[in-house]
Structure 1
Amino acid sequence: MSRSTPSETADRQNHDSLEGLLERIRKTDGDGRQVTVREILDAAGTRSFGPVAVLAGLVVLAPLVGDLPGVPTLMGMLVILTVGQRLFRRNYIWLPGWLSQRQVPRDKLHKGLALLRKPARFLDRFTAPRLTWLMTGGGNLLLALACLVVALALPLMEFVPFSANGGGLALMTFGLAMIARDGVVAVLALVFSGGTLGFIGWQLASNF
């Protein structure tokens, strides 16, 4: 039986709760008043796609951060790139410099994370390994493709009021399902995605 290395063990321990992820992002290294996407991503963890999906969803949902013009589109690009690399089974997420060096104001990031701490603690109480067959093989591929669809729609969501919140919630839920290997949460993520995309379609149809 193979033994996990210390780094692999630490990685699993760091990726088992949403509140822990928020705390790691809050402690992101770096100087000055800005935090880069690369610094946030390194703090979240780059060994699996789950933390990246949670991160993208949280940034879009975070008050004062997700409302900034271009932020949902930026997070959509992050998810699109990482989903592609996940499908090709890369162990480390590569990002182009123009994306990895994009910056978020540190004070707004910290305020947004503080507001999300209690909801994160609440959500962590209800996650556990369930319906794990959804988290492997074809089920895992379905979740990755669903994340990709939501990410592709995020730029459009900037022009449809309140829809970006639904997209952020869907991505966060997908990531939480992957971290906790919780198929029940994955089903909820699919419902949120379908509802958000349906809302966008309804809004567009009513305006034309």
Structure 2
Amino acid sequence: MQAPRDTEPDEPTEPHNLVELMRAIESIDTPSGRIRFDEVLDAIGRRAFGPLLLLAGLVTLMPIVSGIPGVPTLMALFTLLVCGQLLAGRRTFWLPGWLRNRTLPSDKVHKGLKWMYKPARWIDRLLNARITFMTGKQGIRLTALACFVLALAMPPMELIPLTVNIAGVALTLFGLAIMARDGLLSILAFIITGTSLFVIIYNLL
């Protein structure tokens, strides 16, 4: 097990919106042509719940990346681990080596980021601190519980077109809501989570 990294002096500045997180990922040097998940965590920070949720949502939302077999399940496992540890009261998130060492093709990641920059800038302009009790301590725990349940449903979503991307929207909005203390986004994310769970249950019955 890797030791906690709370004391690392080079912990990166936490991104405050979607564009900042995307730029942090885009800045990673990838001479091998593949991006290690551990490198992405180093770029955005390992201790902040909001950016980690946003990362899971962003990867799941990008069609060119989420279309790679197994990626939605990988993001589901990542979300389960992060949310489970937050609900258990941990302040630093631990991830197993096999997950941290997984890689994605850097060209597909960069193409996906390029495709998302325009909507990301539009979304960032809408962020505002409001209905902040939804992003307080209890609101964050409720968010973690909702994302935990959503992550459990993500593997079968790979079999139903577009549902994985809906889950990505929910995770992205939850992450942005926490980062910007935007309770309105949090409420919208809860509605989308409920909708996606309804769709998966309906299709499985």
Normalised by the length of structure 1, the TM-score is 0.89
Work out whether 1:72 is the aligned partner of 2:72.
yes
In the alignment, the residues of structure 1 paired with residue 90 and residue 37 of structure 2 have an alpha-carbon distance, to the nearest angstrom, of 19
Check conservation: 1:173, 1:186, Cα contact below 8 A.
yes
CA displacement, residues 90-121 of structure 1 (integer Å, 9 cap, x when unaligned): 33322111110000000000000110111110
**SS across alignment from 1:90:** coil
In the alignment, the residues of structure 2 paired with residue 31 and residue 45 of structure 1 have an alpha-carbon distance, to the nearest angstrom, of 22
How far off its partner does 1:60 sit?
1.0
Tell me the equivalent position of 1:63.
63
Q: Structure 1 stretches (4+) deviating beyond 4 angstroms?
A: none
How far off its partner does 1:43 sit?
1.2
Tell me the equivalent position of 2:27.
27
How far off its partner does 1:64 sit?
1.4
Check conservation: 2:87, 2:145, Cα contact below 8 A.
no
Q: Select between 83-92 and 189-198 the one with higher mean Cα deviation.
A: 83-92
Superposed, 1:10-21 pairs within 5 Å as 11=13, 14-21=14-21
Letter in 1 for 2:61: L
Tell me the equivalent position of 1:194.
194
In the alignment, the residues of structure 1 paired with residue 198 and residue 166 of structure 2 have an alpha-carbon distance, to the nearest angstrom, of 11
Superposed, 1:55-204 pairs within 5 Å as 55-204=55-204
In the alignment, the residues of structure 2 paired with residue 113 and residue 30 of structure 1 have an alpha-carbon distance, to the nearest angstrom, of 15
Work out whether 1:37 is the aligned partner of 2:34.
no
How far off its partner does 1:30 sit?
4.3
**SS across alignment from 1:68:** coil
Letter in 1 for 2:137: G
Percentage identity across paired residues of the two chains: 44
In the alignment, the residues of structure 2 paired with residue 147 and residue 182 of structure 1 have an alpha-carbon distance, to the nearest angstrom, of 17
| Structure 1, unpaired ranges of 5+ | 1-6
Letter in 2 for 1:180: A
In the alignment, the residues of structure 2 paired with residue 83 and residue 77 of structure 1 have an alpha-carbon distance, to the nearest angstrom, of 10
Letter in 1 for 2:22: L
In the alignment, the residues of structure 1 paired with residue 45 and residue 151 of structure 2 have an alpha-carbon distance, to the nearest angstrom, of 19
Normalised by the length of structure 2, the TM-score is 0.90
Letter in 1 for 2:74: L
In the alignment, the residues of structure 2 paired with residue 29 and residue 176 of structure 1 have an alpha-carbon distance, to the nearest angstrom, of 25
**SS across alignment from 1:125:** helix
